[in-house]
Structures are given as C-alpha cells and as structure tokens.
C-alpha cells in the first residue's frame, strides 16, 4: 500500500496564535482510502474523532477518518487539557435540571472517561505526560462560598471524591476551597497522535487535508463527497463540534472562545495541581513541562465567539495573573473555541432528523477532553448495537426545558440579531485607506459589504462577509487572524478558507481590481 508521510514541521492549528502543544508535532503515516463501503466514516480528527475511530477499529470495524487539515488542528490543539470529574455545569445545576440520578450518571461517566484515558495510555504505552493531580475549586466571596458548599454536597452525593481543603493550590487569595482527588492532565497532541498511530496500525484509514464537502444517504449507504472522491460507509459520525448544514445543534449550542497564556515565572511557584476560581467567566491554572522548560498555564476570560474583544481578553488575563505571580515571560498565548449546550450537558448520539446511522457529538462546554473521550465510548457502543447506560442522558434528541433556557434565549437572541442587524447597520466605511496593517474590518465598498484585511505589506484581501452556513456576517478576530461567525461559530482564515464548521463552503473572494 502506497504511504505518504506528513512532514514534521510544526503542528498546524486553526488560528495565528501558537499554542504550547504545537512545538511537539510528529508525523503520521497515512494511506489512501480504498474504493469500498467502509463500516464507519468519522469526520473530524480531534480527540472525539480519533478516539472513536480507534475504538471502532479495535472492535473489528473498518473505519475511514477524514480530517480537513491535520489531526489536532481544531480545539484539541488549543485545549488546556484538564481532565476532571467535575464539570463546567456543576453537580447542583445537574441535580436541579436533570435530577440526582442524572448527577450520579454524569459523575460515573466522568470517572469512567478519565480511567479510560489512563487505560489507553497504558495499553498503548503512550508517552503523553499524563499525571494525576489534585484539583482545587475555590471561592473568593460570600456568594461563591455558598455555591461552593452546594457543590461540595452535590458532588459527594453524586459519588465524587471531594473534601474541604485548607489550601487552593495557587497563590491567589480565597475564602474556602474544595479538593477533588485524582484529577489529571496530559499533553493533548501527544495523546491523540499516539491514538491515531494505533488506529493506523490496526489498518484504519486516515485522510488528512481532506474536506468533507457534503454527504447524502442512498440505499442504506452514506456517500461522503471530498474534492477528489466519494467515500462510502454504513455509519457516519460527525466529530466536528457542529455537524454541517442547518441542524438542531445550531439552536442548542452556542460558540465561545477561551484564552490561555503559557508563561514562565521569576520564582518557582508553579502550581502542582489543577485549580479554578469561581468568577464569571472563571480562571483556571496548571503547569506543564515542555522540552525541559516549566510553564504555568492560566486560562479564562471566555466570551461568545465573534462578540468580545480578543486583545482585551488577553490583556485582562495577563493583568489577572500578574496580580498574583511574578511573571518572567509570556511564552505562549492562544485562544480556542468550544460550544456551550443549552441545558448544560453534551449532545452525543444519533443526529436528530439526520439520516439513519448518522451521529454527532458536541456541546462539551470547557470539558472537551473528558466528553470527547466519553463520546467515543458511547458512539462505539451505538454503532456496535450495544447498550450504553449513558446514551439516554446525553441523547441529542432529549427534550429538556430547563432553568438555563432563559440564558440560552439570550444566546439565540444574539444570533438572531446578527442574522438581521449586522447585515444592515454596520458602520459604513468608504475606502480601505482607513485600515492599518494587520487590521480587518467589514466595510462598504462599491455598494457591497466586504470583509477586508490588510497584511503587513499593505496587500488587501477582500472577501464576502456573508457566512456560507446561514448568512450571518463574520467579524474579524485580530489575535487569531481569522473571520469568526457569531451565530454558530463558523470560522474562516484570511483567504476565506473554512477553519471551523459548520460552514462547508469558503467565503467568496472578491477581485478588488475587477
């Protein structure tokens, strides 16, 4: 079989900022797809897609894994890689919205997913810096302390090993703290790359730099179109956060960006734990050693995609950490995208209103490494026709009117506003002359709305700002140098190429000389 090797240059990701993980890229031996009906096509080469493909290949299925860029290009290459048994949606919130039995199930699923990551690292002798750590959650005012007490009670009731702690693991003042035992961290790209290598050893097929342009279901077979072929499979799994097209997921999940700094300290006060404050949005801490150098990773300042000010978010994060730590150098700064689910829990399973045997996994909130792994376990069982005790709770078809809904209405209202108002009331600009080097903006040019970007040499690129998914207007992200859609999180690079679905088509390129 003819093989092609990805060259070993730095790992690519979906933004201009460099994440701390990208320096340790490795090549993968890939092979061409065969002209046959595969058992499963998995679209998306992040932790969800790769783990799912591996588990199904292990189970004897023939899988084709399709990735638009390189494995780890998306959120998995930009995560801060915390492995937790407590989640952004807290156990008291799950108790209130789904009931205490659901909380126990979520707790069990988290413990199972974390153990399973550990099991895979052992089974395949994966060197991915996996380490168990204590996880601390701490309050800083009366209201947070009351919430912390509720979290302690609900987490314990759900079966999570947690206790009050005298410390919070970081040099940040606090009122009360909880210690969650046996949390963990790892290097996400080393981990998924090793899983991908095992998938290939088991004769799985991986196509990188292959964009799934569309799919149809005919005579019980999925036909997935790419630039130079139509691939066939009995089952189709979208591990791309948002599945393509207009789906229910567009109305149940809202896209957010989270910011991370990787920095060195003037002293040696690197945290030997995972730690989280309770502010909104919260901040999180941990350390990681890369190429013999220790870094403190601090993250947070999340905001809805396409709406906040990325530069200001980085500034706030830097100011926050400098308040408590003697920063020597900020070596890395990057942001990454995740999806917040309307009722707090991820959607994993059969795609509602989709063709037969079409599956989706999305809405992980900030817990993608955990829920991505859990999704792989659930989807494997569903494809194999086995019962999985978590299927019903995480079903994308669940109908759950919950307290969080009113909050989500705001998200949807935001999306609706962008559908209409952005198209007609953006500030009109008469020429490109007002753009500085490195700046991008939606302007009016010859009567058309145009997304303009001027590079450092003064070259201007002109694109249609109309998102090819559902017609919202994209906004410029000056930090990641991308065009981000506020409606469902679609993102495009400076040349208009799709970086992040659900859009499947690139932005239209305008010829400025035409």
Q: Where do contacts with ligand FES occur on this chain (CB under 6 A)?
A: 467, 469-472, 485, 487-490, 502-503
Task: Rank residues 43 and 50 by Cβ distance to ligand FES and give the closer one.
Answer: 43
Task: Rank residues 173 and 471 by Cβ distance to ligand FES and give the closer one.
Answer: 471
Q: How far is the CB of 238 from ligand FES (least distance, A)?
A: 15
- Cα(288)–Cα(62) distance, rounded to whole angstroms? 36
Residue 319 dihedral angles phi and psi, to the nearest 5°: -65, -40
Q: How far is the CB of 189 from ligand FES (least distance, A)?
A: 26
Q: How far is the CB of 500 from ligand FES (least distance, A)?
A: 8
Whether residue 461 contacts residue 455, with contact meaning beta carbons closer than 8 Å, is answered with yes
CA dihedral 116, 117, 119, 121 (to 10 degrees): 170
Q: How far is the CB of 472 from ligand FES (least distance, A)?
A: 4
C-alpha count within 13 angstroms, C-beta hemisphere, residue 2: 3
How many angstroms separate the Cα of 357 from the Cα of each of 63, 210, 235, 385?
14, 22, 5, 11
- Cα(501)–Cα(504) distance, rounded to whole angstroms? 7
Task: Rank residues 123 and 410 by Cβ distance to ligand FES and give the closer one.
Answer: 410
Closest of 76, 24, 16 to residue 45, by C-alpha: 76
Task: Rank residues 215 and 383 by Cβ distance to ligand FES and give the closer one.
Answer: 215
How many angstroms separate the Cα of 179 from the Cα of each of 111, 152, 182?
16, 10, 10
Q: How far is the CB of 255 from ligand FES (least distance, A)?
A: 8
Q: How far is the CB of 242 from ligand FES (least distance, A)?
A: 7
Residue 245 dihedral angles phi and psi, to the nearest 5°: 80, 180
Q: How far is the CB of 369 from ligand FES (least distance, A)?
A: 24
- Cα(86)–Cα(183) distance, rounded to whole angstroms? 9
Whether residue 65 contacts residue 203, with contact meaning beta carbons closer than 8 Å, is answered with no
Whether residue 86 contacts residue 110, with contact meaning beta carbons closer than 8 Å, is answered with yes
Task: Rank residues 253 and 487 by Cβ distance to ligand FES and give the closer one.
Answer: 487
Task: Rank residues 137 and 487 by Cβ distance to ligand FES and give the closer one.
Answer: 487
- Cα(116)–Cα(491) distance, rounded to whole angstroms? 32
Task: Rank residues 27 and 214 by Cβ distance to ligand FES and give the closer one.
Answer: 214
Q: How far is the CB of 259 from ligand FES (least distance, A)?
A: 21
Task: Rank residues 296 and 487 by Cβ distance to ligand FES and give the closer one.
Answer: 487
How many angstroms separate the Cα of 99 from the Cα of each of 92, 175, 413?
9, 29, 28
């Amino acid at each position: 079989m003819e093989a092609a090797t990805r060259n070993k240059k730095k790992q690519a990701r979906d933004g201009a900022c460099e994440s701390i993980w990208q320096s340790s890229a490795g090549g993968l031996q890939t092979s061409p797809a065969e002209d046959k009906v595969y058992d499963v096509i998995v679209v998306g080469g992040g932790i969800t897609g790769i783990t799912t493909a591996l588990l199904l290949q292990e189970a004897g299925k023939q899988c084709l894994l399709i990735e638009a860029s390189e494995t780890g290009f998306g959120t998995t290459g930009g995560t801060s890689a915390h492995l937790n048994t407590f989640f952004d949606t807290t156990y008291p919130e799950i108790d209130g919205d789904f009931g205490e039995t659901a909380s126990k199930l979520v707790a069990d699923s988290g413990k199972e997913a974390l153990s399973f990551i550990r099991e895979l690292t052992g089974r395949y002798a994966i060197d991915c810096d996996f380490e168990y750590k204590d996880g601390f959650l701490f309050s800083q005012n009366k209201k947070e302390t009351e919430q912390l007490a509720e979290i302690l009670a609900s987490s314990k009731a759900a079966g999570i090993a947690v206790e009050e702690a005298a410390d919070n693991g970081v040099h940040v003042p606090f009122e009360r703290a909880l210690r969650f035992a046996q949390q963990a961290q790892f290097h996400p790209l080393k981990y998924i790359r090793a899983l991908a290598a095992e998938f290939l050893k088991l004769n799985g097929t991986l196509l990188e730099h292959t964009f799934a342009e569309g799919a149809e279901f005919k005579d019980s077979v999925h036909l997935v179109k790419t630039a130079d072929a139509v691939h066939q499979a009995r089952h189709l799994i979208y591990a791309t956060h948002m599945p393509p097209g207009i789906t229910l997921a567009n109305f149940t999940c809202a896209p957010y960006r989270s910011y991370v700094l990787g920095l060195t300290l003037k002293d040696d006060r690197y945290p030997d734990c995972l730690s989280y404050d309770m502010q909104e949005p919260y901040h999180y801490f941990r350390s990681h050693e890369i190429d013999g150098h220790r870094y403190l990773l601090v993250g947070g300042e999340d905001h809805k995609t396409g709406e906040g000010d990325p530069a200001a978010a980085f500034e706030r994060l830097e100011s926050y950490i400098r308040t408590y730590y003697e920063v020597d150098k900020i070596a890395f700064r990057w942001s990454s995208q995740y999806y917040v689910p309307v009722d707090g829990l991820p959607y994993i399973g059969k795609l509602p209103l989709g063709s037969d045997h079409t599956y989706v996994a999305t809405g992980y909130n900030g817990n993608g490494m955990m829920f991505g792994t859990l999704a792989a376990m659930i989807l494997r069982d569903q494809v194999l026709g086995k019962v999985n005790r978590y299927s019903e709770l995480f079903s994308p078809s669940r109908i759950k009117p919950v307290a969080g809904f009113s909050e989500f209405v705001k998200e949807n209202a935001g999306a609706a506003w962008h559908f209409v108002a952005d198209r007609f009331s953006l500030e009109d600009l008469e020429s490109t002359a007002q753009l500085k080097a490195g700046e991008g903006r939606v302007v009016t040019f010859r009567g058309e709305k145009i997304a303009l970007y001027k590079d450092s040499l003064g070259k201007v690129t002109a694109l249609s700002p109309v998102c090819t998914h559902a017609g919202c207007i994209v906004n410029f992200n000056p930090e990641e140098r991308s065009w981000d859609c506020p409606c469902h999180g679609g993102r495009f690079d400076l040349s208009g190429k799709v970086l992040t679905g659900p859009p499947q088509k690139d932005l239209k390129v305008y010829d400025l000389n035409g």
